[in-house]
Amino acid sequence: MAQVLGGLGAGATLSLGALLAAETSGSSAWSGMAATMATLGAAAAAVPLAALAQRRGRRVSLATGAVVSGVGALLAIAAASLSAFPLLLLALMLLGVGSATGLQARFAATDLATESTRGRSLALVVWSTTIGAVLGPNLFEPGAAVALVLGIPPLSGGFVFSAAAQAGAAAVYALGLRPDPLLTALAEQEAARPAGSAPPERRRGLRVLAENPTARFAVVIIAVSHAAMVSLMSMTPVHLHDHGAGLSVVGLTISLHVAGMYALSPVFGWIADRFGKTQGILCGQVLLLLALVTAWRGAESEAWVTTSLVLLGLGWSACVVSASALLAGSVGAAERAPVQGTSDLVMNGAGAVGGALAGPALVMLGYAGLGLAAAAVVAVVVAWTLTRLASLRRSEPAPA
């Protein structure tokens, strides 16, 4: 329930933030700062939210993240009313904390899950984002009507829904997430510890990743998959528009891409649980590679570009669901929150880098060249995944 509400708030930010940035700054050149500031906010909040979860539990951490995001929505309304662009940038950064909260929520679903259900538990929370992600970008007209009643700028009306949605999400987390899944998992681990033995050492996320190859593999998969997705997706509207596609075609393409990212995540969770997390990752990497090759070969066709974006969303979903489940199962409860916070930080950082490099790549290489360059990176990861899978099979005990 909280993820549905949080997704609604994030959807409003993505759809209205760029327009409000252009209007408040007086130049469309600043419109890209909406996504940039939201990404920076998500990256900056990842580790602190994880540390708070480790100390106080998921309930407090997730509710806090939702409250901060709601404050960002209120500041966005104030910034629009005052035409204060610097205040809007701060508001968008705080709104980005909602994305970090949503990422942490998917891990909260794994705290008490078993190995055989971890993928499906995580995927269900990811899937619930679909509702908000679809509804959020459609708040233009309702938001304008609310803005008229409240006497605020039309584009800021959607953030009223965002603030209310985040307040609702915070309430659901605070009241409904009982017993706290992470604190319960930590208590179970402590109860299972032999009498007289030392408690497990609490290590920072980077140290765990340096010493745990499985966790390190999962984090790299998440980061590369996210960077590849963001780099191609962010440039697709520009490419389609430059080739004469109408706004309806651009909107349909992005909507289908978002549907691919979330709608089938329970299927990929089942695949990860049924056939193995690494096999699920390989499935996602192959889909990503197919999407990027399709973008390379079909860059001049609207139909093929749309197809590539759907495949890109599906590949991202399979990789993130499977790799997140693998990451959650590769560390103990005492290390789970810091490792997951580091993973989300790396994921958002990779997405920001991918988006930043995609613009110059589009200018220098064209859309087809961008697809080919991203495909080359994913191909290396596919080879790494195949090598890991072969190693796992060799290490399996022979049947008696």
Same domain? 145 vs 287 = no
Residue 67 falls within a domain, yes or no? yes
Q: Does 310 lie in the same domain as 176?
A: no
Q: Identify which of 123, 132, 104 has the alpha carbon closest to the alpha carbon of residue 258.
A: 132
- Nearest to residue 105, comparing CAs of 66, 68, 147? 66
Residue 12 lies in a domain: yes
Same domain (yes/no): 248, 158: no
**Would residue 132 count as lying in a domain?**
yes
Which of 185, 214, 244 delimits the end of a domain? Answer: 185
If one counts the domains in the chain, the total is 2
The answer to whether position 193 is within a domain reads: no
pLDDT of res. 400: 42
Per-residue pLDDT at 375: 93
pLDDT of residue 28: 62
pLDDT on residue 137:
60
Residue 330: give its domain's CATH number: 1.20.1250.20
Within this chain, do residues 90 and 229 fall inside the same structural domain, yes or no? no
Q: Do 344 and 232 share a structural domain?
A: yes
Domain limit, last residue, from 139, 154, 185: 185
Q: Looking at the structure, tell me whether residues 91 and 157 fall in a common domain.
A: yes
Residue 233 lies in a domain: yes
Do 245 and 162 share a domain, yes or no? no
Looking at the fold, whether 120 and 211 belong to one and the same domain comes out as no
Regions of the chain where pLDDT drops below 50: 398-400
pLDDT at 396: 65
Structural domain of residue 34, as residue ranges?
1-185
pLDDT at 279: 94
115 shares a domain with 81: yes
Same domain, 181 and 207: no
3 and 132, same domain (yes or no): yes
Domain for residue 195, yes or no? no
Domain-embedded: residue 163: yes
pLDDT the model gives residue 32: 64
In a domain, 198, yes or no: no
pLDDT score recorded for residue 38: 83
Domain boundary among 158, 185, 212: 185
Question: Are 212 and 156 in the same domain?
Answer: no
